[in-house]
Amino acid sequence: MQSNQKDKVQVITGNEACAEGALAAGLKFFAGYPITPSSEIAEILSLRLPRVDGRFIQMEDEIAAMGAIIGASLAGAKAMTATSGPGFSLKQENIGYAAMAEVPCVVVNVQRGGPSTGLPTLPAQGDVMQSRWGTHGDHPIIALAPHSVRETFELTIRAFNLSEMYRTPVILLMDEVIGHVNEKVILPGPDEYEIIQRKKPDVPPEEFLPYKHTESCVPPMVSFGEGYRYHVTGLCHDETGFPTNDPVEIDRLLRRLNGKIEVHRDEIIDVKEDFLDDAKIGIFAYGSTARSARRAMLLAREKGIKVGMLRPTVLWPFPEKFVRPMGETCSHVIVPEMNLGQMAHEVEWATCRNAEVVKINRVDGEPISPQQILDKILEVAS
């Protein structure tokens, strides 16, 4: 390792990497509320943001924090909040607002055990379905799940990029293990990642339609105070942004909102494939659980068992295109999760039940160990 590279080595946690990633992406406004195990993200940003012309505020509650980031984003700031299970539940109504009014923002959820107050200091992956369907009504959403500290940095930047590109809230679904684990990393420098800004209108104010039905399904966006005065509402609205009861307009709006993720699905989804070429047994794993799964896969391969793994970094939209072939080539697909099988159902339908989906579930606050997954591989292989 060259000496200048050595200087860049740091030992940091996932929560620290998340804060750094957000700053690298151009975060200018953070609103939060104390909650374990995500509080470090707020603490770091309270220290850093005022030094870079950013603003940090601890709000009176989780709902307010979500509302504040939407307001800040409309005023032109890249905005984020961070929370965990109970706080994530409280934010849901305003997450729906951001989806409906198409306001870019990033919501970090460092998952802990639930339901309710559950296990504040222990990991879980129980909010996978809530991040998809937590707020009412059909709505678009993107959710990302990092499996390491470095990837947390990268996916935080990607979360901002996706939210700006598609004008949608993006959920960064971490878990307590990733949030608190210390890892040795060299974070990428500014020339190693791309930062995307929201697309501005190329028409004068009098021709501007804030919710125009464009081909990309994503209307250009302008901040408050830039001379394009417009109306933003959570009510069903037409292209001008004003409320409407016209069934044709309502249908058009909701199909475009949901369609914008569909249309761009291939650009959004991202999976890491490992040894899937010759695999007879597949593993579908995400977040910190994927670390144990990878170890188990390597141990099984040493024993001559052909195991491969698919690790999505984007959970929503679901990468069915990559899951379907596993059903054709594998006899079994093992899905380890720190919940009672939330993603396993998705894998089941995506593989068209061609392969047997085998669940490994833990909800006791303990991570799933490589041995536990290896045992299942051996059981399935025999």
Partner 1 sequence: MFEYAKYLRLNKFPLIWCAGCGDGIVLKAMLRAIDKIGLSNDEITMVSGIGCSSRLPGYVDFNTLHTTHGRAIAFATGVKIAKPEMTVIVVTGDGDATAIGGNHYIHAARRNLDLTVILFNNNIYGMTGGQVSPTTPVGKKASTSPYGNLEPSFNISGLAQAAGASFVARGTVHGAHMLEKFIEKAIRKKGFSVVEVITPCPTAYGRRNRMGTAVNMIQDLKENAVTLKKAAKMSPEELEGKVVTGVLVDIDKPEYTEEYAKLSEQLKNKVGVD
Residues in the site for partner 1, rule: CB under 8 A? 28-29, 31, 47, 50-51, 53, 55, 57, 59-61, 63-77, 79, 93-94, 97, 223-225, 227, 229-235, 242-243
Nearer to partner 1, 221 or 293 (CB): 221
Residue 181 C-beta-side C-alpha neighbours within 13 Å: 21
CB of 191 to partner 1, least distance (A): 24
Nearer to partner 1, 105 or 155 (CB): 105
CB of 185 to partner 1, least distance (A): 20
CB of 54 to partner 1, least distance (A): 8
Nearer to partner 1, 66 or 334 (CB): 66
- Cα torsion through 355, 377, 172, 121, rounded to 10: 140
Nearer to partner 1, 59 or 250 (CB): 59
Q: What are the C-alpha distances in Å from 382 to residues 113, 119, 373, 377?
A: 34, 36, 14, 9
Residue 159's region, left for phi above 0, alpha for psi from -120 to 50, else beta, is: alpha
How many CB atoms within 10 Å of residue 340? 11
Q: How far apart are CA 299 and CA 302, in angstroms?
A: 5
CB of 233 to partner 1, least distance (A): 4
Q: How far apart are CA 41 and CA 25, in angstroms?
A: 15
The alpha-carbon radius of gyration of the chain (Å, integer) is 21
CB of 321 to partner 1, least distance (A): 35
**Structure tokens, 155:** 């996916």
CB of 52 to partner 1, least distance (A): 8
Nearer to partner 1, 13 or 329 (CB): 13
Nearer to partner 1, 37 or 210 (CB): 210
Residue (of 227, 223, 249) closest to 238 by Cα position: 249
Q: How far apart are the first and last CA of the chain?
A: 44
